[in-house]
A and B are shown apart, each in its own frame.
Chain A
Amino acid sequence: MPVVNWRYLLSAVFGLSIRIASLFAIVALLGMFLQMLVVAYPILAPSTLVSSQSMSAPRQYQEGLNRGLAERVERLEFIVSENWQLQGVKGDEWSWVQPSSGLRLEASELPKDWLFADAVGNNKGLVIFANDTLHHFHYLSSDQAGDAPRAGLVQAHPFTGMIRLLVGHPRLPVVAIAGSDNKLQVVDFRDSDALLSIALEQPPDALVWRTTAQLDVLADGQTSAYEFTTTDIGGAWSRLFTPIQYEGYERPSLLWLPLPAAEEAEPKYSLVPLLFGTLKAALLALIFAIPLSMGAAIYVGFFMSEFQRRRIRPALDMLAAFPTVVLGAIGLFWIAPYFEQIVSSLIGVVIIFPLLLLTSVYLARAFGLRLVNLDALDDWPLTLMPLIIGILIIGSVIGLGITSKLPGNSLYAYLTSLGVSVSYFNSLLVGLVLGVAITPTVFSVAEEAIHAVPKNLASGALALGATPWQGYRDIVLPVALPGIIAAMMIGFGRAAGETMILLMLSGNTGLIDGNVFEGLRSVSASLALELPEAPRDSSHFQVLFVMSILLFGVTFSVNTVAALIRNRIRTRVRGF
């Protein structure tokens, strides 16, 4: 009877399962990116127009037929606002009409020799065909109430050929055109290159947008339907990043308004405000985190003994035990309400801190207290604690005193009088709390980089008479610098992807504004806020996926560069 080696068999099964499981994990982790691309891709797909069905029994489209043969139409009226109408008469000027008072004003900005015109985009825009050109106008409200509105040209699009019918899309800046050559064309003003064309069998009597996606063509007692599929950005991905002239806006703008108030208005997906907000928050967080974490990293990594370092690191790592949602709650309840005072105190502390520290250290030396004893450096953080608490208190008092002497008697009042708007949830608040959140990460990486530099290098310099700080600055810092930069990059990546703090404290206003006292909206907060509500496979959903791919790409590449830098130092210091 053959002897079964169970140990061998078991380990062989184990080895096999390790391979399978690891393959699974690696595929899952690396496939994530691909899957997100697959979900997001349709937003970049171009618009299409396909014949969907044809019905023998004609539906009654009285409205369509009336509006239909525009050659017969000599006079058009469009509703612009509650008080104003736009009237066009063939061969004559356009005019603004106020029906209640009968007031009539000339609209000289609109082309005179028009052949066709129709409203587009929820009555916010107008497409006029004149002089072999399709003009897309939009209405602008006047500066003064009671004045006539104005029309602004969004885009002019050359169009040759005879037009038989021209019908605007109910929601988007899109028109359907039936040419005399029996061609059905759809012109999308969002992407000027997009011109969809399909051949018809007989000349149509009317075109009707039955829904936003279905175009009905009435011809010879028959209705045939065409399906017009488009994304909210019309397949033009550059619209995600460039200023867009939206209907009703004074000038081209970068806006993130995925769910506009009016039901049928065009959603606005510019990623620039969100990317700007993310960048602003991350940089402010670095400004707060770097002094704290770098100072601590230099001290723990270079000036402390190995023994003390091992004891103090876990205590410093405890800051990482505060999850970001807790920091967000702390910011919401204990920082935001007193933020004006906190900023004032911080200003005072920053002014007074070096001054007082220098004086007290110098005094200590003058009175012969030998604080600078290399053996006693371990205890410095604790011996300095009363001094630092004192400095913090004095600094706060001085800062509050200074700001109360400002015109307006408070910091915010003074800023407002300077024309700087201040909001309750502002970027500075986010930066402060986010800075606390990334401090443990930056500290830990920077400290490792500084500590990795062999101490005997600096000891040599100290033996030759260099001061300890010179030993650090001239010997250790040049070697550790790439690691310190890597630490900042990792901190930046952390701050850019942080969600809860931004969600709770940033005010979530999509502004592009350098003012640190204004709110912001970040990519991560938008994802957390909007994705649960976005209908699956809608354009909004897909744009959010594009956003998360961008965030993924940015953080992943920042981390990769940081990892490469760290690897390089590791090989550089290995020789010692």
Chain B
Amino acid sequence: MLATTRTAFLQRTRWQRLRSLTMISVSASMVTATLLLTLGLFALLFISAMEWIFWIGEGGSADVASRLRDIALARPGLESSVIGLVPAIVGTVALVMLMTLFVAPLGVATALYLSEYARDTWYTQLIRISITNLAGVPAVIYGVFGLGFFVYGLGGQVDQLFFSDRLPSPTFGTPGLLWAALTLALVNLPVVIVAVTEGLDALPEDLRQASAALGATKNETVFYAVLPAAMPSVFTGLILSTARAAGEVAPLMLVGAVKFAPSLPVMTTAPFIGLEQKFMHLGFQLFDAALFSTVPPGGIGWVATIALTLVILIALLNIVAMSLRSVILRRQAVDSPF
């Protein structure tokens, strides 16, 4: 009797152990598969791009130098649908900088207000939850809003007030750099607010109390003690938002990115930046090249080159943000004994 129970128990145990082993190995292989997928996608882009850039000979370019010059600066022609990367990179950078100009003060101020000033009532809770959830709202919705409100609403007003002599051809009442930057700022505002709020919540309460004990007012505490301590999280949030802005294309299709802009939105003379101009964007260029440029020397290698540039740009921004975050974590570990 006892022996049968023991055997049954051992059998069950063996079965359980085997099952455990299987499930662990399956889940471990999913980690492996995800890593392989990431590596594979990157390798795919890298190999295709390199093969195309350094492919000299029949059908290819005469030499690597002219190929690189084409990749950087080519203008669209009859025989080629390739448009150089440099204008797109300039456009992307101008857009992201302008967006940061809007999103940084607004995001930091809102985060500071919500976690330092506002009383903890049901409606501040509601606002917090709404802002967190707005981070998950698809970017194309912001693009729709940007087109309806910024371009047609605000832009139309600006035209009537300041550029009425140029009407009916619109100046600001049409998609352009300023509206794209504002739209992207809205897309990223929740991201920045959430990141900065997390940083502020992680700061030790002692910091604020010590400042208050020294006779500082609330404003002085926030300005001279809390904000400097929260700087890493501010930068993390901003860098993450720039990474997102560089890869986001859907809203830009609605508010101002174009296939080819005859002039750069930045210039060497005043006012230095063409706010009302349409601009080129790396992500949009990739979209356009992937769908419409199949004429040699465009096609697969060219698409891989643009995609690789974009991925490397975003990966770099992400790595910087991640290392900043680890700086914050390390600092917290040191601060915690207080």
Contacts and interface: CB of A to CB of B under 8 A. Distances in A.
Contacts of A353: 29
Interface in B136-180: 136-145, 147-149, 152-153, 175
Given A17-B109, A361-B22, A372-B24, A36 B133 contact: no
B110 to A, nearest CB: 4
Nearest 9 interchain pairs by C-beta: A497-B138, A295-B30, A323-B247, A467-B20, A21-B109, A469-B20, A22-B113, A499-B250, A15-B219
A371 B24 CA distance: 11
A30 B130 contact: yes
A461 to B, nearest CB: 12
A496 interface: yes
Given A36-B148, A315-B38, 12 more contacts: A15-B222, A18-B109, A295-B27, A333-B290, A380-B28, A468-B20, A470-B20, A494-B136, A498-B138, A544-B144, A556-B134, A560-B129
A377 B283 contact: no
B318 interface: yes
Given A19-B117, A319-B34, A319-B38, A499 B24 contact: no
Given A17-B109, A39-B148, A357-B25, A326 B138 contact: no
Contacts of B106: 21-22, 24-25
B307 interface: yes
A357 B35 contact: no
Given A316-B38, A329-B286, A380-B24, A29 B250 contact: no
Contact of B22 (A14, A334, A358): A358
A497 B144 CA distance: 13
24 contacts: A14-B223, A21-B105, A21-B106, A26-B131, A32-B186, A295-B26, A295-B31, A314-B322, A319-B38, A323-B314, A325-B286, A330-B44, A357-B29, A362-B18, A372-B21, A380-B31, A388-B29, A388-B33, A469-B19, A469-B23, A497-B138, A497-B139, A497-B140, A504-B291
Contacts of B218: 15
B88 interface: no
B134 A29 contact: yes
Majority SS at the chain B contact face: helix
Interface of B: 16-38, 41, 44-45, 105-107, 109-110, 112-114, 117, 127, 129-134, 136-145, 147-149, 152-153, 175, 186, 189-190, 193, 217-220, 222-224, 243, 246-250, 253-254, 283-284, 286-287, 289-291, 300, 303-304, 307, 310-311, 314-315, 318-319, 322
Contact of B29 (A17, A21, A295): A295
Interface string A364-386: 01000001100001001110110
A472 B29 CA distance: 17
Contact of A316 (B34, B193, B304): B34
Majority SS at the chain A contact face: helix
A443 B109 CA distance: 31
A500 interface: yes
B140 A528 contact: yes
A330 B114 CA distance: 41
B25 A29 contact: no
A315 B186 contact: no
Contacts of A380: 24-25, 28, 31
A536 B56 CA distance: 49
Given A497-B138, A499-B138, A469 B24 contact: yes
A493 B286 contact: no
A357 B220 contact: no
Contact of A296 (B31, B117, B175, B190): B31
A445 B266 CA distance: 40
Interface residues of A, number: 107
B220 A300 contact: no
Interface string A409-441: 000000000000000000000000000100100
A467 B19 contact: yes
Contacts of B175: 532
Given A361-B21, A524-B250, A322 B34 contact: no
A282 to B, nearest CB: 11
A532 B106 CA distance: 28
B140 A545 contact: no
A324 interface: yes
A29 B16 contact: no
A388 B20 contact: no
B222 to A, nearest CB: 7
